[in-house]
Structure 1
Amino acid sequence: MDTQQDIAPPCAPPGTTEDAKPSSGVVHINSRHTSDFTVIGNHLSRHRQLSLVAIGLAVHIQSLPAGARVGIKRLAERFPESETRIAAALRELEGAGYLHRSRMRLPDGRVVTRTVSRNRPDTGQAAPPPPRPPERPPTRTASPPTPHEPAPEPSAPPPPAPVCVPAPTARTAPPPPVPRPATDTPELLRAAGALLADLRRLSPQLVLSERDIATLAPGVATWLERDAHPDTIRHALTADLPVPLRHPAKLLRHRITTLLPPPLPGAHDLAPPQRPGVIVIPFQNCDRCDRAFRSRHPGHCRDCRAETQAAA
């Protein structure tokens, strides 16, 4: 009676049956890579502050060999995203510490951009210094040559070290004021405010507060005063928006100010210029035969004057 007997069958090891797969969500089917692969950390692939464009761009840059060109124009030729979106993604990677860009001057005078990619985010340490040319060993002062010994050739001076040019900083000057229309009517401002409030239907990221609309409405009213069509204004304000868009009011202020069209020219502006010293005599209609003739004063044409003199 004291002997213990195993009656229940042993449990199956975990992960050997189909029941171990999740009932919903992603199911991974992984194959082992032995060549042509890149190791990416989950701190990048699961980054909560980076956009998908920035994460994908970081993966692409880390997979490139050293010396590959990763300029904005080169990346825009490789991918369907615009130069504006690629530039915004590069700034995201710089802010997160995965990328560092600096400008350096080469010995021949050209200024190039040096890009340093990190597979782990930078924790605040200084950027690596630019590579310096190898130091040449000090030349030994030779004794004066003997009459039968040729003089040694002078050694060339070492090339100058590349000079790092700091990247351009953000603008510190205040932005230009929002343009105002010549006739500041309530109807014009009401139409401009309605156009600004309606932008969120075209682009959900363009949600403006009432204060922002009141500030930007005079600028849009200036566009309307200059006979700009509302569809033209919407396209100018919503085309090719950066991703992510952190300050929609500042972006709209910049576009309203810098893309403002000039007023339509009048009839006198479109008239051809007259040559200096040339006097144009206007046309007159003859009081008798209604024929057109050039004269400074109204009256009769040449033929009517001749007939009048002959009759007299």
Structure 2
Amino acid sequence: MDTEHLSAPPQAQSRIPGKKHPHARPDSGVVHDNARHTENFTVIGNHLAQHQELSLLAIGLACYIQSVRPGTAVDIKTLAARFPEGPTRIAAALRELETHGYLRRTRERTPTGRIVTRTVSCNKPGHRSAPADPSTRPARRTAPEKPPPRKRLPAVPQPSCTSPALLQAAIDLLAGLRRRDPRLLLSATDAEHLAPGVAAWLERDLTPTAVRHALAENLPLEPLIRPAAFLAHRLAAQLPPLPPIRPPASPAPEPRHPFQNCDGCDRPFRSPAPGRCRDCRSDLPEAA
């Protein structure tokens, strides 16, 4: 006969014969030892925690992002400094969350001209809450990003004559475009780049008023992110042709006067009025 071990715990008995208690210890698998949270906790949906397509890193990042306070920086650089995974893996996990609707990232320009990334965490994909009152919304503390390198402006036509007076007239014309539309405000560097193109238009027998009209009329309704690039495109794409070559005007023929009889020699000669011919006029001083 086997000896009974008094130290071994007795086997739990089911309240209903033939059925196990719902909270009885399972034969295998995980056992939950849960305590009720009353503070400092985050509710995570099982659709995220048990997602069938997201990677484990993406699920973990989503849980972390949903748990932080609004305004916390969650850009790639900050997350790579917070977790042992590198920037490449974190960037891939964030793209997964965007694909499945758990994250929305948009690039916005601040009033100071700086480009920042706005990140919105969605605890339930497809749900969009009503926009919050801007006066009560907390200030974003998104990590600043370096502005992208400034692209070169498109090339502009070049005039055949680059006189300082012509280029100055072109710069003055460009500086006045902002009076027609405030979006056409240009920097001094942009105006210097565009001035040869305007000079090329002025060489084509166009008045400054006509050039201003061609550049500043029928502007697009959307904001002009780079007005200098827009004007450079118009200067090149809408450059009018050279004026037709006009032959030089021939000199006017000498007038043909009527014949007059000379008062001295009675010879006929052409003259607008009666008088003496050239020979007789030359003899007058000698006769005196």
Question: What TM-score, normalized to structure 1?
Answer: 0.36
Larger Rg: 2
Q: Calculate the TM-score normalised by the size of structure 2.
A: 0.38
